[in-house]
Every structure is written in structure tokens, then in C-alpha cells.
Amino acid sequence: MKRNVGSVFIVCALVIGLVFALSPTVQAKTEWKMALGDAEGGTQYEMGKKFAELLEKNTGGKLSAHLFPNSQLGSEQETVQNCRLGTLDLSVVAINNVTPFSKTVGLFTLPYMILSLQDGFILTQGPIGQQLVKNTIKDAGVRIIAWAYSGFRVLTNSKKPVSSVADLKGLVIRVPKNAIMIDAYKSWGINPTPMAWDETFTALQQKVVDGQDNPYITNYVMKFYEVQKYVTNIRYLFSLEPLVISEGLFQKQSPEVQQAILNSGKEASIYSMNYIVEKEGEIKKAMVEKGMEIMDPADNEKEFIEKATKQVWPKFYKDVGGKERIEAALKAVGREFPF
């Protein structure tokens, strides 16, 4: 009797196994890991989430992605390295954290290069963006498959209102480990402190640094209003945040799956553009409600622009692919070389 129960159990297990193996709906799903530097609700997260949904839909459920926000998988620059090494699948990072691995991408971190969301969209989606995608594959071993559009980086600090270049004096400002951004602050007369993103909140809280810059939405979702008081709308960088995939992983996919990945990225980028248009105004208002004071340098903006463009751009002509590359980018957005 005991033996009979055992045999029945084995037969049942085999039948269940067979049913699962043959059923088209019970295919093994592969879940990729996606790192994010920012918190939930930010532009990185919203674009990443949309991409994951589309990836699942466009691959008939074969692929999906799990999101790890708040630098859980490492600093943004570490995650780019890990995608290159193939130990991580996907990551959404600010463009300034890709530039150290692929210098020509610095075109998009030149101060006052991008003057509107429209400029950012044209440059990332057009031939200039496509060339940078190719360069990044070659230099950094990662492929940009989508873009989050996060708005202009604004300066925040805990010490005093800033509305002119002179007001910056005496402030210790954190910047990403990005040579162009470091030089932008130097052009305004201060020596900034390069620091990884995942260390920034604590450094602001412990007053190791007085301020930093990031888009309104990033400052909001990272709760910087808890440790910062003043905002200056310097608008020197429009924050573009690419979703990168390990190139090794991309190359392992069938042509159909590669196309599904690229299509999902394109649609997620458009979603991101609409998301920031919809959200930025209300976020700005919420920051004021949280007690932040917003300064617009208006009359003094010219000084920020002139110093940063004239002193910084020429230093990086070679890195970004020559002065001609800057001229081509300006032409694409209907502007002329400013000096």
C-alpha cells in the first residue's frame, strides 16, 4: 500500500512537470536587473518602469526588468562599469556619470549647450545622439537604449540666497565626478567638491558640503528640501539620463528581441518627455511648500553663461569631437556658435 502511494506521487509529479514544460503560457521568464541612482517617482524611475512594462509586452512576456532605486546596486558610475563587465544588465544614470567612460558624450554636459527640453529631445533622438550611442558602445561597452528627460539642474544650498556669480563665494558645492562640471564651477570662481551621487544626501545633512545641483524633480524625490533651503535657477545643464544596457547582453539577444528592446526604449523616452512636462511645475510648487526659496538670477544669468561657455567649452573641444561637433549640435537646434 505504502509503495502504491509513492508510485502515485511520482507519476503525478511527472505529469505536472510535463504539463508545465509543454504549456506555451508557462515559459521561463527572464528578469533583468535595472539599477537607478534616484528614488521612486523621479524621472529615472518613471522611465525605467515604463521601459520594463514595454519590454515585457514587446517580448510576449519573455523578458522583464526589476528596478533597484536609490543606488542599491552601487554608485551610478559603478553601475556603468558593471554593465560594461556584464555583471549588471541595465542602469539609468545621469549623462554626467557616463561622460567619464566615453568623452564625446561630454557634448551634452557642456554648460548652456542645451537650452530647452526641445533641444534635448532633438539632440538625443537625432543623428548627433545616434553617433554618441555608437561611441558609448565602443568606449564604454554599454548601449544607450532610452533617455529620461529630467529638466534643468538647479543649484541648492543650505547657507544663503545666491543670485549672482559673486554670491557663490564661500560655498562648498558638491559636483559629480565630471571634469566639465567641475570646470563650470571653477569658471564662476569656486573650487567644487567632486563626490559620488549616493554620498551626496549624507554630505549635505552633515554639512560636509553646503550645496549641490540637480533638477527640481530629483531634488524633490531625494528629499533634499530636508537639508537645503535656497534654490538658484542657474539652468546650466539640462539633465539627460540614459538607460544603458550591457552591450554583451544586448548582443546575445535575437534580432527580434533586440528590436523589441530598442522599440521599448524609444517609447519609454517619449513617455519620459511628457512626464517632465506634466510634473515639473507642480514639483516646483511643492518645493516652495516645503520651505525652499527659489531665486532666478535673471539679470545676472548673462554672467553665468558667458564665464562658463567662454572658459569651459574651448578646454573640451578635443574631448567632445572638435569644435565642429559643437557647431553641428548648435545648428541642429537652430543656434549659432555664441562667441
The residues that touch ligand MLT, with contacts defined as CB under 6 A, are 37-38, 76, 93-94, 96-97, 176, 197, 214, 218
Nearest-approach distance from CB 265 to ligand MLT, in angstroms: 18
Q: Which is nearer to ligand MLT, 178 or 264 (CB)?
A: 178
Cα separation, 19 vs 139, whole angstroms: 47
Nearest-approach distance from CB 176 to ligand MLT, in angstroms: 4
Q: Which is nearer to ligand MLT, 212 or 246 (CB)?
A: 212
Nearest-approach distance from CB 96 to ligand MLT, in angstroms: 6
Q: Which is nearer to ligand MLT, 176 or 321 (CB)?
A: 176
Q: Which is nearer to ligand MLT, 58 or 150 (CB)?
A: 150
| 329 CB-near residues (< 8 Å, 6+ apart) | 107, 113, 123, 128
Nearest-approach distance from CB 197 to ligand MLT, in angstroms: 4
3-state SS of 252-321 is CCCHHHHHHHHHHHHHHHHHHHHHHHHHHHHHHHHHHHCCCEEECCHHHHHHHHHHHHHHHHHHHHHHHC
State which residue has the least CB distance to ligand MLT.
94
Cα separation, 217 vs 9, whole angstroms: 57
SS3 assignment, position 30: strand
CA within 13 Å, CB half, 291: 9
Burial class of 336 by CB neighbour count within 10 A (0 to 12, 13 to 18, 19+):
exposed
Cα separation, 332 vs 304, whole angstroms: 24
Q: Which is nearer to ligand MLT, 216 or 304 (CB)?
A: 216
Q: Which is nearer to ligand MLT, 220 or 300 (CB)?
A: 220
Closest CA to 36 of 64, 65, 73, 63: 73
Show the CA angle centred on residue 165, arms to residues 161 and 167, nearest 5°. 35
Nearest-approach distance from CB 107 to ligand MLT, in angstroms: 17
Nearest-approach distance from CB 289 to ligand MLT, in angstroms: 22
Nearest-approach distance from CB 259 to ligand MLT, in angstroms: 28
Q: Which is nearer to ligand MLT, 241 or 247 (CB)?
A: 241
Q: Which is nearer to ligand MLT, 88 or 260 (CB)?
A: 88
Closest CA to 244 of 96, 98, 121: 98
Pairing of strands 63-68, 30-36: parallel
Nearest-approach distance from CB 22 to ligand MLT, in angstroms: 45
